[in-house]
């Protein structure tokens, strides 16, 4: 360690109750009260020494005063409020102001009584702004409308400055690096901060994905470390496949492999400085490399975009690419087919670090079998919670009216809600399924139920004033007779 002389300035306010309130310039977190002004100064110096020796170099630079502050007194005329009988004459306030000059010729003024600090680029501007901020501070305390409030905020008799030289012991650059590395080893690791341990989490089951699980387990147990990219439409069960692999890891000889989950937003959370999320990502890869863990990164397209800025065209996915190439990081990510093509156009080398595993949408009997297995597992009942006819209706409704989501994600969510809200103990009736789907999608029942389909003449449909485009001579063309 080396000794460094640090000059500080204490602002001591003598109060009406024979006490002294002290604070240090550039140390807003320190204040002290005592009946002896010298004890106030000594307490402030002791606290400042502790802060300076624990602070970083940038903090020391911000607390260093360039020139010696000085004290001056300003007068502020406070006009009486309107329609006040008790206060009808202006009040002249004499306020002590601490002045100093900072870097780049910045001028500062601090009013201890009102706890107001003003800065400007010139002496003229500081003289103009100071009365404005005094007026605003009095208005915030409601002292501009009440003499009683004005007396409560002005208990200060005098303000004095006390300048002292403080000897602090600072770490050398080498000692600072050694201490930082030591703190990193003893402190909380990065993966504990930004990751979730999937092995300690209760995960939902997935059905009908034995082929995908076997392929993933085969890749994760290869001698050469390779990462996996699950590609399939949204809702097909890519995330569910990984969760099921973690849940059955013992059956696939992965019981000693830790699995963690994170995302791009969690990695960059709180990282505001240049290079901060890159450093966090580097430490995360090193920690997982020591643990020989697998990291689930979520959507690859998100990782491709997160972290980019005007001065940085590299996202998290591109930053992690060399770690995956060297085998220091074994990851699992996912994306849709459209996102896969876009990433391939923008950065084809990134996809070379992954082994692509396609997760296809189940069809026909395989899809209904998945729904049957899920229903039996979810209901935990000995009897079948849904009949074969009810399952066919559920399958037909989702394939016809919910094509925007891949199988079996949306049908499983629909079935889960049905089973959770089920009141009787018997199997789900076809009527319950139709009514629940109609309520969820706002589609009328006669469109969903073949038995309720409208017959000609029973549900007359009249379109009044249907405009089919301009007719001859600019006249609007109407629909057929009886319909317009």
Contact between 304 and 294 under an 8 Å Cβ cutoff? The reply is no
Whole-number pLDDT of residue 479: 44
Chain-wide mean pLDDT for the chain?
A: 83
- The residues spanned by each domain of the chain are 2-170, 190-358, 366-452, 457-484
Whole-number pLDDT of residue 383: 59
467: confidence class by pLDDT, cuts 50, 70, 90: very low
Please state, in angstroms and rounded to a whole number, the distance separating the CA atoms of residues 443 and 175. 70
94 DSSP β-pair partners: 75
Which range, 17-21, 358-362, 447-451, 479-483, is most confident?
358-362
Whole-number pLDDT of residue 416: 83
Whole-number pLDDT of residue 484: 38
On the question of pLDDT at 331 being above 90, the answer is yes
- CATH number for the segment(s) 190-358: 3.40.50.300
On the question of pLDDT at 184 being above 70, the answer is no
In this structure, the chain runs to a length of 484
Percent pLDDT > 70 in the chain is 88
Read off the pLDDT of each residue in 266-286 and give the average, rounded to a whole number.
87
Read off the pLDDT of each residue in 195-201 and give the average, rounded to a whole number.
92
Whole-number pLDDT of residue 468: 47
Of residues 243 and 144, the one with the higher pLDDT is 243
Whole-number pLDDT of residue 380: 67
pTM of structure = 0.55
Whole-number pLDDT of residue 476: 47
On the question of pLDDT at 261 being above 90, the answer is yes
On the question of pLDDT at 193 being above 60, the answer is yes
């Amino acid at each position: 360690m080396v000794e460094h002389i640090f000059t500080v300035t204490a602002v001591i306010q003598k109060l009406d109750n024979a006490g002294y309130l002290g604070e240090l310039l550039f140390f807003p977190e320190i204040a002290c009260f005592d009946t002896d002004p010298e004890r106030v100064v000594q307490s402030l110096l002791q606290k400042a020494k502790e802060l300076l020796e624990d602070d970083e170099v940038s903090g020391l630079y911000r607390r260093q005063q360039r020139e010696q502050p000085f004290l001056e007194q300003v007068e502020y005329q406070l006009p009486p409020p309107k329609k006040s009988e008790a206060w009808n004459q202006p009040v002249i306030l004499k306020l002590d102001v601490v002045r100093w000059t900072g870097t780049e010729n910045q001028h500062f003024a601090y009013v201890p009584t009102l706890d107001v600090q003003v800065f400007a680029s010139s002496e003229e501007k500081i003289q103009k702004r100071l009365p404005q901020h005094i007026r605003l501070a009095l208005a915030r305390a409601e002292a501009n409308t009440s003499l009683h409030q004005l007396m409560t905020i002005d208990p200060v008799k005098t303000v004095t400055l006390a300048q002292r030289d403080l000897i602090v012991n600072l770490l050398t650059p080498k000692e600072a690096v050694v201490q930082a590395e030591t703190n990193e080893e003893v402190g909380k690791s990065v993966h504990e901060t930004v990751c979730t341990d999937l092995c300690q989490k209760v995960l939902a089951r997935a059905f009908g994905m034995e082929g995908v699980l076997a392929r993933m387990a085969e890749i994760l147990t290869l001698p050469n470390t390779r990462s996996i990219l699950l590609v399939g439409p949204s809702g097909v069960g890519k995330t569910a496949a990984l969760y099921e692999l973690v849940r059955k890891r013992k059956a696939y000889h992965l019981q000693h492999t830790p699995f963690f989950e994170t995302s791009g937003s969690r990695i960059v959370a709180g990282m505001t400085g240049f290079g901060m999320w890159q450093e966090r990502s580097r430490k995360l890869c090193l920690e997982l490399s020591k643990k020989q863990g697998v990291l689930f990164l979520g959507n690859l397209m998100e990782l491709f975009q997160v972290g980019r800025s005007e001065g940085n065209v590299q996202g998290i996915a591109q930053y992690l690419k060399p770690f995956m190439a060297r085998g220091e990081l074994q990851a699992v990510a996912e994306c849709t087919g459209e996102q896969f093509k876009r990433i391939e156009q923008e950065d084809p080398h990134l996809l070379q670090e992954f082994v692509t595993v396609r997760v296809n949408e189940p069809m026909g009997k395989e899809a209904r079998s998945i729904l049957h297995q899920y229903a039996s597992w979810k209901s935990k009942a000995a009897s079948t919670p849904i009949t074969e006819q009810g399952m066919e209706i559920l399958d037909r409704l989702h394939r016809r009216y919910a094509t925007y989501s891949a199988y079996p994600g949306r049908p499983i969510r629909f079935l889960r809600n049905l089973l959770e809200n089920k009141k009787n103990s018997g199997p789900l009736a076809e009527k319950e399924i139709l009514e629940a789907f109609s309520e969820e999608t706002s589609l009328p029942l006669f469109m969903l139920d073949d038995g309720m389909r409208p017959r000609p003449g029973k549900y007359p449909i009249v379109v009044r004033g249907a405009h089919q485009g301009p007719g001859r001579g600019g006249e609007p063309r109407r629909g057929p007779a009886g319909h317009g």
